[in-house]
């Protein structure tokens, strides 16, 4: 029997933006079909109050359209097509449907709107929509809401005490560990290049946090984050990195 457990688990960063179109439903579905059981995506809010998948504040880089998402309706945003694959810009619900019924996945849902940059009522609407749509479709325990913004994470925790949260940061330090713990995060996600090695990862583990060292975009980096003890690692080339992880299982 093969008892291989992929560690660190590879998360498809925006579905694998170097292998497929950035944040497309097809990217996530294809990655999952290739055995990539982790995913990371980005969620924004249209002007009429709906959730769509998009990393940037504007649609210019990845679509055939122009302008800020915050000034578009859901119909306007989802009518746009992604440049490489031609798919329509997806809703958050469509992303979630890729993973419906899966209890073997690890999903990070990054909140691109930050509580220190928006009206409190709008922030509450945003996190409530995120919570409710995810809870309706995704299997409990398989996903976490993440952010660079402590105020956003704090408000999410206040409104929904049961949710899993993750803190995205640059450095992995005593301070960032304390910040993550202050809002009840279960994971911390520092840039691997600023994580300062296995001692810092051990500190995070000792504090009860799992660690995502991002991004593993080469064999060498994956080997480093594996050696340092990362639990998961986001990657722009998740299909390639997952295959590499499988090939090195005996190490």
pLDDT tens readout for residues 108-143? 999 999 988 889 999 999 999 999 999 999 999 999
What CATH number belongs to 9-42+90-247? 3.20.20.190
Q: Which residues are catalytic?
A: 13, 55
Mean pLDDT (whole number) for 19-25:
94
Domain ranges of the chain: 9-42+90-247
By the 8 A CB rule, do 179 and 165 touch? Answer: no
Q: What is the pLDDT of residue 195?
A: 81
pLDDT of 2 higher than 60: no
Q: What is the pTM of this model?
A: 0.95
By the 8 A CB rule, do 183 and 211 touch? Answer: no
Q: CB neighbours of 1 closer than 8 A, spacing ≥ 6?
A: none
What angle do helix axes 120-137 and 150-159 make, rounded to 10 degrees?
A: 60
The 10s digit of each residue's pLDDT in 188-236 is: 999 999 988 999 999 999 999 999 999 999 999 999 999 999 999 999 9
The 10s digit of each residue's pLDDT in 30-61 is: 999 999 999 999 999 999 999 999 999 999 99
Q: What is the pLDDT of residue 250?
A: 56
Q: What is the pLDDT of residue 43?
A: 98
Residue that wins the pLDDT comparison between 116 and 104: 104
The 10s digit of each residue's pLDDT in 158-184 is: 999 999 999 999 999 999 999 999 999
The 10s digit of each residue's pLDDT in 83-97 is: 999 999 999 999 999
Cis preceding-peptide flag for 8 (omega within 30 of 0): yes
Phi, psi angle pair for 231, to nearest 5° = -85, -40
């Amino acid at each position: 029997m093969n008892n291989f457990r992929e560690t660190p688990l590879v998360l498809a960063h925006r579905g694998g933006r170097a292998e497929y179109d950035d944040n497309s439903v097809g990217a996530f579905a294809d990655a999952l079909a290739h055995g990539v059981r982790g995913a990371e995506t980005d969620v924004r809010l249209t002007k009429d109050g709906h959730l769509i998948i998009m990393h940037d504040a504007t649609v210019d880089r990845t679509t055939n359209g122009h302008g800020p998402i915050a000034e578009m309706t859901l119909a306007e945003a989802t009518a746009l097509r992604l440049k490489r694959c031609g798919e329509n810009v997806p809703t958050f619900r469509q992303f979630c449907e890729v993973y419906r019924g899966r209890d073997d996945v690890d999903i990070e849902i990054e909140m691109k709107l930050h509580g220190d940059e928006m009206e409190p009522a709008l922030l509450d609407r945003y996190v409530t929509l995120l919570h409710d749509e995810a809870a309706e479709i995704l299997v409990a325990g398989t996903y976490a809401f993440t952010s660079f913004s402590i105020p956003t994470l704090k408000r999410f925790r206040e409104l929904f005490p049961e949710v899993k949260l993750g803190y995205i940061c640059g450095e992995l330090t005593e301070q960032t560990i304390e910040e993550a713990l202050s809002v009840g995060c279960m994971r911390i996600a520092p840039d691997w290049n600023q994580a300062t090695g296995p001692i810092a990862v051990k500190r995070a583990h000792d504090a009860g946090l799992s660690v995502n060292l991002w991004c593993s975009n080469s064999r060498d980096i994956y080997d480093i984050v594996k050696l340092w003890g990362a639990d998961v690692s986001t990657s722009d080339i998740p299909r390639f990195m997952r295959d590499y992880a499988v090939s090195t299982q005996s190490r």
